[in-house]
Amino acid sequence: MNPFWYPLCADEALTDKPLAVQLLGQALVLWRGAESRPVLQQDRCPHRGARLSLGHVQIHTQIHAQVHAQIQPDAQPQAQQHTLACPYHGWRFNAEGRCVHIPALPGFEPPASHRVSTFPVALAHGLIWGCVDTAAGTPANTPASTPEGAPPALPTLPPRHLLFGPFDVAVSAPRVVENFLDTAHFGFVHDGWLGTASHAEVPAYPVSHTADGRPVVAHYPAWQPRATASAAQGGWVSYRYEVLGPTSALLSKQPDDGSPGDSFTLWCCPTDDEHCRVWMGQYTADTTTSDEDLRTFQLAIFAQDTPVLESQQPKRLPLSGGELHCAADRLSVAYRRYLLAAGVRCGVC
């Protein structure tokens, strides 16, 4: 049972073809049903186990049976049914997971037990999210139901939104989130950009919590040589951190000189215990820097983090000892405690 929602792909990345994705070690398929609504199902045909993502989406026009019987040539189509057709024997599954057609037995109506596990999906922040809560996609193949919760909500942020990624990283999602919350690495991993070794000290900062237990740092002062793509010189920046969920977080930066602030979201999909797929959202009040320059800056920052992240051992985030902490790590420690309290099991040890 895992009641959390995770990002699976950018909304614009899902075309009219099925797309294989992975979440928590499970092979899943995303495809677009009626009105382009995304559908999330197990990527395994219940007939002989072929990958449904190798199949294709079929759209059938359903004509009302009575009209059909009267053979009215000018009858208007009543509805369109979208199905996912398996590449092996062509069985077709609808958006609820039910098998609606077996080409080898065209007159046979498959029973309700012929279905593929189907999971809830949601659109948020430019991404398609899924929840593989086992109550919604049980081996008994019950239809999708809405589990508790939803993708993380965001406060009001600057309107200009860019989404960077996906980036596949060979380390657990909690390791990537902890790195996003970690300020003590700025002067080393991002020397000359987000920090400098001559300003390595981490000032004491308090960690508070939201009503549902997510850690927040309301104010963290950082001196940064180049805080943003448009920064011409170094300066003090006020950071605000908020953990949004087990594998997502929000960082807002406000330069002390009053120049436009930026907010960054980290969205991680735990593909399995030791790998993740990452997107980063930027919400900025900067109206002059080009999309390309903003993208180049963030990709440069993430490229600095990746080798260190992928070097970490174990790849899972230790929640019960085995690593040393100092007072500068209090947000990281609060994040680990939050994961423990929330009962998160993927990507931790």
Residues of this chain that bind ligand FES (CB under 6 A):
45, 47-48, 50, 86, 88-89, 91
Of 4 and 193, which CB lies nearer to Fe ion in the complex structure?
193
> Among ligand FES, Fe ion, none, what does residue 17 contact (CB within 5–8 Å per kind)?
none
Of 118 and 247, which CB lies nearer to ligand FES in the complex structure?
118
Of 242 and 305, which CB lies nearer to Fe ion in the complex structure?
305
> Among ligand FES, Fe ion, none, what does residue 297 contact (CB within 5–8 Å per kind)?
none
Of 50 and 299, which CB lies nearer to ligand FES in the complex structure?
50
CB of 132 to ligand FES, least distance (A): 21
> Among Fe ion, ligand FES, none, what does residue 236 contact (CB within 5–8 Å per kind)?
none
CB of 100 to ligand FES, least distance (A): 13
What does each C-alpha distance from 214 to 28, 76, 168, 181 come to in angstroms?
29, 53, 26, 13
CB of 48 to ligand FES, least distance (A): 3
Dihedral pair phi/psi, residue 140, rounded to 5°? -75, -5
Short-list 227, 277, 206, CA closest to 248: 277
CB of 49 to Fe ion, least distance (A): 41
> Among ligand FES, Fe ion, none, what does residue 45 contact (CB within 5–8 Å per kind)?
ligand FES
For 73, the 3-state DSSP assignment is coil
Taking each helix axis as running N to C, give the angle between helix 173-181 and helix 330-342, from 0 to 180 degrees, rounded to the nearest 10.
140
Of 85 and 249, which CB lies nearer to ligand FES in the complex structure?
85
> Among ligand FES, Fe ion, none, what does residue 160 contact (CB within 5–8 Å per kind)?
none
> Among Fe ion, ligand FES, none, what does residue 305 contact (CB within 5–8 Å per kind)?
Fe ion
> Among Fe ion, ligand FES, none, what does residue 63 contact (CB within 5–8 Å per kind)?
none
Q: Which residues bind Fe ion (CB under 5 A)?
A: 305
Q: E strands along the chain, which residues? A: 6-10, 19-23, 26-32, 38-42, 56-62, 79-85, 92-93, 99-101, 118-119, 121-124, 127-130, 160-169, 208-209, 215-224, 235-245, 248-255, 262-272, 275-284
Within 13 A of 284's CA, how many CA atoms are on the CB side?
Answer: 21
Those residues whose C-beta lies under 8 Å from the C-beta of residue 54, and which sit 6 or more positions away, are: 18, 87
Short-list 160, 156, 128, 123, CA closest to 282: 160
Q: Please confirm whether the linkage preceding 110 is cis (ω < 30° from 0).
A: no
Of 24 and 99, which CB lies nearer to ligand FES in the complex structure?
99
CB of 283 to Fe ion, least distance (A): 19
Of 88 and 205, which CB lies nearer to ligand FES in the complex structure?
88
- Quick one: CA torsion of 6, 31, 88, 94, rounded to 10 degrees? 100
Q: What span, in angstroms and rounded, lies between the C-alpha atoms of 42 and 30?
A: 9
